[in-house]
Amino acid sequence: RRGPRDALRPRVWSTTMSSSFEFPEFFEYPPYFTVQPNPDTQRKQTELWKSLILGWCRHHREFTVRVDDESLVLFRNDRIGRKLPTDARRFFLDALVSAGAARWMDDGAARKSRALIFWQSLGVWVTVLSDWAARNGLEGQVVALCEITGDDEVGVPTPDGFRDAPVEFVALVALELEKKGKGVFVPSDAGRDAGVKFF
């Protein structure tokens, strides 16, 4: 369980987590770290970066990507001495947003410094959440968002993939769940955290 102080500590994944991520071939070719002027080449380059961002986040169960995070290995290949400049990162993340696979998480989305990545489609996330609720007999109950992410003591294990997810992410899934008529998003108010009521 991660408390507030854990946010400052780096996350250590258990060794059973996964093998190291295999970067695709294009990651070794320097020009791919510059946004290409030729439209056909740029189109291909965008597709490659979109796939990489999604794949990397999926592998590491990473939900957010910070544009200014220089330590992010996703955007740099030290072996060839290239890293994606900030405007290029925004460019490819914008493409992901346009494809519905990401969302800017800033006030008014103007600054575009942090993006939420849907390495599974929102629809799939909703299914995972509602199936989990059904399996554990939570219909009719209000479950706090932090219970879904495992931040609070609950008698049941968290739904697959939701552990340690950012609250904004779970809120978005809850809203989508509501749109699909499978429940209601309960916003937070004094004395109570935000939650979801499952039907």
Partner 1 sequence: PARAGVACLCEWSFSSQSWHGPTPPYAKRKMRRRPGIAGIQQRRDASVAIQAVGEDAERQSVEAMRAQLLKFRNSLEQFALKHKSEIKQDPGFRAQFHAMCANVGVDPLASNKGFWTELLGFGDFYYELGVQVAEACLATRDHDGGLCDMTQLMRHVQHRRGNAAQPISEDDLLRAIERLACLGGGWRVLTIGGKKVVRSVPTELSTDQNDVIRWASESGVGSITKSQLESTKTNGAPGWHKTRAQTILDQLVKSGIAMVDDGDAKTGERVYWLPCVSKRNGC
Show the tokens assigned to 80: 């060839």
Smallest separation (angstroms) from partner 1 to the CB of 81:
6
The backbone torsions φ and ψ at residue 104, rounded to the nearest 5 degrees and listed phi first, read: -75, 130
Instruction: Give the ranges where the chain is alpha helix by DSSP (H).
Output: 39-60, 86-98, 122-135, 145-148, 167-179
The residue from 1, 17, 21, 29 that contacts partner 1 (CB under 8 A) is 29
Residue closer to partner 1, measured from CB, 28 or 131: 28
- Report how far residue 104's alpha carbon sits from residue 193's, in angstroms, rounded to the nearest whole number: 23
3-class secondary structure, 7: helix
Smallest distance from partner 1 to CB 47, Å: 9
Considering only 40, 70, 107, 189, the residue that binds partner 1 (CB under 8 A) is: 40
Out of 41, 98, 141, 188, the only residue in the binding site for partner 1 (CB under 8 A) is: 41
User: What is the chain's length?
Assistant: 199
Nearer residue to partner 1 within complex by CB, 85 or 123: 85
Q: Which is nearer to partner 1, 36 or 158 (CB)?
A: 36
What is the spatial distance between Cα 182 and Cα 89, in angstroms, rounded to a whole number? Answer: 35
- Using CB under 8 A, count the residues that bind partner 1: 21
Token pair, residue 99, equals 């494809």
Eight-state DSSP code of residue 159: P
Assess 34 for contact with partner 1 (CB under 8 A). yes
Residue 159 CA to residue 180 CA, distance in Å, equals: 19
Contact 151, 48 (CB under 8 A): no
- For partner 1, the binding residue among 22, 25, 70, 189 (CB under 8 A) is 25
- In the complex, least distance from residue 25 CB atom to partner 1, rounded to whole angstroms: 5
Find the binder of partner 1 among 1, 2, 31, 73 (CB under 8 A): 31
Which residues between 55 and 94 bind partner 1 (CB under 8 A)?
81-83, 85
Asked if 99 contacts 73 with a C-beta cutoff of 8 angstroms, the reply is no
Judged by CB, which is closer to partner 1: 48, or 194? 48
CB 50 within 8 A of CB 24: no
Q: CB-wise, 60 or 83, nearer to partner 1?
A: 83
- The contact set with partner 1 (CB under 8 A) reads 25-34, 36-38, 40-41, 43-44, 81-83, 85
